[in-house]
Amino acid sequence: MNKLHREDLMTLEKYAQERLDFRKQVIAHKKNRQVSLGPNATLYFEDRLTMQYQVQEMLRIEKIFEISGIDEELEAYNPLIPDGTNWKATFMLEFEDEDERREQLARLVGVERKIWVRVDNQDKVYPIANEDLERETEDKTSAVHFLRFELSAPMIEAAKQGADLFMGVEHENYSHETGALPENTAGSLVSDLALRH
C-alpha cells in the first residue's frame, strides 16, 4: 500500500486553512473503521488517510517545517499503514475510572495477543503486537497497543469476494466476540487488502 511521502502532506499554512474540512472527512472515514470488542475495548483500524491526519496534526502541534523533522514523523507513522496483506490497528482499553483502569490493566496482561480476526469460517488470525516498542510489564498491560493482523491469500480472496468478517478477544479476564461486521466496516477494511498473484 502507498506509504506517505513529504509531497503528500500540506504545508503548515495550507493545513491551517484546510484543517476543519479535512478533520470532518477523517472523522467520517474513521467511523467505518472502528470495532467495539465489548464495553471496554476497541480496535481502531489505521490506513493512509488516518495516518496522514496523525502526521499533519503532529506537524501542526509541534510546528515542524524542517525536512528532517517531517521525515521523522513519516518514519514513525508509515509503519501503521497496511501493506495489502494485513490490517493494522490501534487497540485501546478504555476504563473511565482511574482506579478501575489500574486494576483492569493488571488483570489483562497479554490481552493484546488474545485478540483475533476471522474471515468467514477460516482460522482465527492473532496479531503481531507492538513491533515499535514493548508496552507491557509482568504486572500490567498498556491501555494502548499497536497490532498487525497478517492474512493468507485465501483469506484475502474470500474477504474481497464479500465473506463475513468477525473479530473477538479471548483473554481469561475479558472475552467478547462480534457478530459479522456491518457492511460499511467490512467494506472499508477490505479496501486495505490487495490480491497477490
Write out the chain's pLDDT in tens, 197 residues. Answer: 589 999 999 999 999 999 999 999 999 999 999 999 999 999 999 999 999 999 999 999 999 999 999 999 999 999 999 999 999 999 999 999 999 999 999 999 999 999 999 999 999 999 999 876 666 667 889 999 999 999 999 999 999 999 999 999 999 999 999 999 999 999 999 999 997 65
CA dihedral 42, 43, 45, 50 (to 10 degrees): 40
Q: Dump the DSSP string for 143-191.
A: SEEEEEEE--HHHHHHHHTT--EEEEEEETTEEEE--SPPHHHHHHHHT
pLDDT of residue 2: 80
pLDDT at position 136, please? Answer: 63
Give residue limits of the domains in the chain: 97-197
Q: Please tell me the predicted confidence (pLDDT) of residue 134.
A: 63
Query: pTM, whole model, 2 decimals?
Result: 0.90
pLDDT of residue 60: 96
Residue 135: per-residue pLDDT: 60
Q: What are the grid coordinates assigned to 39, written together?
A: 464495553
